[in-house]
Amino acid sequence: MEGNRWNSCKRPHWMGMYGMKKTILYAFAAGATFWMASCAPSTPEYRISERPAAFEALNAKHKELVRKGELAKGMGKDAVALAWGSPSRRVDGLRDGKNMERWEYQGSRAVVNHNFFGGYRSGYCGGYRYSGLGGGFGPQVTYIPYRKSTVWFVSGRVNEWESVR
């Protein structure tokens, strides 16, 4: 018998069953690593450890406030970044003839809706045609953004701030 036609094919290493499992495992590991990195701690202690020189440049009063994640009038931008983190948005402007900058911090709230979903679908998958009616009833989670906090800087120093309770 002449050899098996499937065994004589030259396939890339990732096409075999072991190679496919290995590729899926690597993809899963990369995704898990990205997910865990995106959930890195965002506490004042973590930010201080990332930027020790900026923390050491602060006066004693501002160091104590930064450690607690609090702000005070007259703080610089580095102190605010250490206490609250990087803002979601920065806005420049002019107030009373002085340069003004506003930092906005965004949060999100989960809203759960219970909806009916369904409809008719058709298409091709793997060379086979499918069609049918499908649907169901279930929860759907939507995340609604909101402005959590705002800090106003005048001439590079904190002038005002507000936070949603």
Q: Is the pLDDT of residue 25 over 70?
A: no
| Position 14 in a domain | no
For Cα atoms 123, 128, 131, give the angle at the middle one, nearest 5 degrees. Answer: 40
Among positive and negative, which fits the CA dihedral 125, 126, 128, 134? Answer: negative
Q: What is the reported pTM?
A: 0.62
The first and second tokens of residue 135, run together, are 């649907």
The one-character DSSP state at 57 is: T
What does the alpha-carbon distance between residue 137 and residue 27 come to, in Å, rounded to a whole number? Answer: 32
| Position 29 in a domain | no
Q: What's the whole-number mean pLDDT along residues 140-150?
A: 91
Q: Please report the pLDDT score of residue 9 as a whole number.
A: 47
- Higher-confidence residue of 151 and 116: namely 151
- Supply the mean pLDDT for the chain: 81
Tally of domains within the chain = 1
Nearest Cα residue to 120 out of 110, 130, 108: 130
| Position 60 in a domain | yes
The DSSP bridge pattern shows strands 89-95 and 157-163 to be unpaired
List phi, psi (to 5°) of 154: -120, 125
Contacts of 38 (CB under 8 A, 6+ apart): none
What does the alpha-carbon distance between residue 92 and residue 81 come to, in Å, rounded to a whole number? Answer: 17
Q: Is the pLDDT of residue 33 over 70?
A: no
pLDDT-derived band at 7 (thresholds 50, 70, 90) equals very low
| Position 68 in a domain | yes
Q: Please report the pLDDT score of residue 138 as a whole number.
A: 76
| Position 17 in a domain | no
| Position 59 in a domain | yes
Q: What's the whole-number mean pLDDT along residues 63-67?
A: 97
What does the alpha-carbon distance between residue 160 and residue 157 come to, in Å, rounded to a whole number? Answer: 9
| Position 27 in a domain | no
pLDDT-derived band at 66 (thresholds 50, 70, 90) equals very high
The H-or-E segment that residue 68 falls in is helix 60-68
- Boundaries of domain holding 158: 42-163
| Position 32 in a domain | no
